[in-house]
Amino acid sequence: MSQATITSTSADHGVTLYTLRNAHDMRITISDCGATLVSWWAPDRYGRVADILLGYPDCEGYQSNPPYFGGLIGRWGNRIANGRFTLDGADYLVDRNEGSNHLHGGDSGFHLAQWQAAAGPDGLRLTLESAEGEAGYPGKLQVSVLYSLDDEGRLSIDYSASSDAPTPLNLTSHGYFNLNGGSADIYDHILAIAADQYLQIDAQLIPVAAASVAGSAFDFRQPAPIGPRLAWPDPQLKLAGGFDHCYCLLPQHPAVPGEGRKPQTLREVATVYDPGSGRQLSLATTENGLQFYSGNFLEGVQGRGAAPYARHDGFCLEAQAYPNQINGPDAEAVVLRPGQVYRQTTTYHLTVR
């Protein structure tokens, strides 16, 4: 499958925007600030083109980006309880930027960093060096992310990383999608997730136990509209203000001492369909976890439109390791050690039906 052409334009705040365009004029814009997914322009079933990503009207908003619109998240996607972990007998304290917890890499996460970008025949590659001690993490980390778009409408995100000392690592992409192009909320979107279990959370959104999805609002093994599920009287939904939970994707490889994480083969794990536009987004990943977030805290955020975003105006599907896994029994699976290479692939495939 042929790859998209790539063009670049300079923007304010020293930012460069790169546009990947395939043979069908589908366009994805990526910023070197945060390796951020800025826009994804795509037609609906009638050929009408709209942007299916939420975001800011200019580069200024991405300099702070509290909702993490489109950002590349690291070193740790999601939460670490109390901002603490123990690795090889040493205790580490990382940024506490969500109450007492660590969220999405801390105060200066990768979504705010200036990445080095280079366009090539395989796509747009962005690289970053994270210094020893940054946000409290051990090890100097080298990270590379390759974005590519093919003529079938598939955006591939290929991650790799290495470190000169043992360090936890959990990278993900934090794009907010709305398949109707922002003309309405996501209530009518029909979601399917291939998972039998999800991680229940406490009041601080930290996982406490795996639970079966059967009979609950979290059962998307068969496609179901998101809106009605948000109205279910489920205590877990009340805690998060909606969905903000990690699904346990099957099959899984167990952690092997000394071998670090073992990614899965790339397999499709979720689809979202918007009946109004006909757009369908399918996600495939090599990861064990998938965080489904229903935009619970978007209320009042001023994005590209004339009016601020409202609650549930977008959704995220973040392929990743499990939240707080570094403090669990399978912590070794999320430790990157010298001589190892972290690899992850996630694809978002946009079609129309």
Amino acid identity for residue 321 in this structure: A
Q: Identify the active-site residue in 102, 174, 189, 312.
A: 174
Catalytic annotation on 174? yes
Distance, CA of 32 to CA of 125 (rounded, Å): 10
> Three-state SS for 226?
helix
> Three-state SS for 112?
helix
Backbone angles phi, psi at 234, to 5 degrees: -105, 125
> Three-state SS for 228?
helix
> Three-state SS for 240?
helix
- List, as one string, the DSSP characters of 55-67: --SSGGGGGT-TT
Residue 208: left if φ>0, alpha if ψ -120 to 50, beta else—which one? alpha
Q: Identify the active-site residue in 102, 104, 111, 318.
A: 318
Are 227 and 188 in contact by the 8 Å Cβ rule? The answer is: yes
Q: What is the DSSP letter of 4?
A: P
Report the residue count for the chain: 353
Catalytic annotation on 332? no
- Rounded to 10 degrees, what is the CA torsion of 96, 100, 105, 107? -40
b/e code 85-102 from CB counts within 10 Å (16+ = b): bebeeeebebbbbeeebb
Q: What is the DSSP letter of 302?
A: -
> Annotated catalytic sites, by residue?
174, 318
